[in-house]
Amino acid sequence: MKKRIVIALGGNALGNSPEEQLRLVQGTAKAIVDLADDYDIVVTHGNGPQVGMINMAMEVAHDEVGTPVVGFAECGAMSQGYIGYHLQQSIQEELKARNIDKRCSTVLTQVVVDKDDSAFSNPTKPIGSFYTKEEADRMAQERGYIFKEDAGRGYRRVVASPVPKEIVEIDTIQLLLENNNIVIAGGGGGIPVARYDNKLQGVAAVIDKDKTSAQLAIDIKADIFLILTAVEKVCINYNTENEKKLDFLTPELAKQYIEDGEFKPGSMLPKIEACLKFVEYNNTATALITSLDKAKEALEGKTGTVIGR
């Protein structure tokens, strides 16, 4: 049997506009299909820029031309759909070009959260574009948004990011995986839903995609959890003259670095935390963090940062 792998794509694999995304995902598809002969693959992805763009467009359209109000969960579903469409199309074309007998399917994925999660009173998840302090202050006043500085890159709107509890479509994902599909699922951390009177209802939030990806990897009993981001290896003292690239992190050392504040909340911290969740659930599995263009090399043990025992 092939090993199972969950690949979590970072924003750098998707771009910041539909046009840029369609161009970038062609390269992303090549990197994913490079692994198709050796692994059964589930692909997850973020949606921070995209869901922010959609939500802003919907609010402006409502304010200016009176279109209906569209909820945040619905905006998340829209972003899942169009990102999945671009990825699915590009992966299908790449499989066809290489004569690989495999299909690709996107599952619109709901993820259950606790409606009383403390995250709803403390928004932390960055979405949308980067702004200057002046632009952020103006939009906060005009629209009531909350902005926070994001890892030295500018100001971004933040929304609630509750902990994922349950992946609703997990059985469908399993079935597709078992039937020779590359599966795209859990996009943007999933469409956030909560139970009210035992019925699912969308909530205004964006679940961290790395945390949902870790849960998905646990649920399908993946052998490998691979997070693809902008850097080849995890670093401490990042972007300083004392920067040090890390080849391997034990859970204990990773927790120490977290306690020391080495990993930023808006960038590397959720990735490290997701990897810890996965390897602590299954101490024989492997978690890896590297860049998109180094994915295959990292899986061959030539680069990337391994988190595990």
For 132-184, write each residue's pLDDT tens digit: 999 999 988 988 889 988 877 889 888 899 999 999 999 999 999 999 999 99
**Are 274 and 211 spatial neighbours (Cβ–Cβ below 8 Å)?**
yes
Query: What local confidence, expressed as pLDDT, does residue 301 receive?
Result: 95
Query: Is residue 12 among the annotated active site residues?
Result: yes
Range 23-47 average pLDDT: 94
Query: What local confidence, expressed as pLDDT, does residue 156 receive?
Result: 87
pTM assigned to the model: 0.90
Segment 75-116, tens digit of pLDDT: 999 999 999 999 999 999 999 999 999 999 999 999 999 999
Query: What local confidence, expressed as pLDDT, does residue 12 receive?
Result: 64
Query: What local confidence, expressed as pLDDT, does residue 33 receive?
Result: 97
User: What value does the mean pLDDT of the chain take?
Assistant: 92
Please identify which of the residues 271, 277, 304, 308 carries the catalytic annotation.
271
Residue of 295, 255, 250, 299 whose CA lies nearest to 273: 255
Query: What local confidence, expressed as pLDDT, does residue 131 receive?
Result: 87
Please identify which of the residues 15, 52, 187, 209 carries the catalytic annotation.
209
Please identify which of the residues 15, 16, 48, 125 carries the catalytic annotation.
125
Segment 204-260, tens digit of pLDDT: 898 999 999 999 999 999 999 999 998 999 999 998 999 999 999 999 999 999 999
Please identify which of the residues 3, 12, 102, 165 carries the catalytic annotation.
12
C-alpha 276/C-alpha 224 separation (Å) is: 13
State yes or no: pLDDT of 118 exceeds 90: yes
Query: Is residue 11 among the annotated active site residues?
Result: yes
Q: Quote the percentage of the chain above a pLDDT of 70.
A: 99
Q: What is the DSSP string of 1-42?
A: -PEEEEEEE-GGGT-SSHHHHHHHHHHHHHHHHTTTTTEEEE
Query: Is residue 294 among the annotated active site residues?
Result: no
Please identify which of the residues 11, 71, 154, 202 carries the catalytic annotation.
11
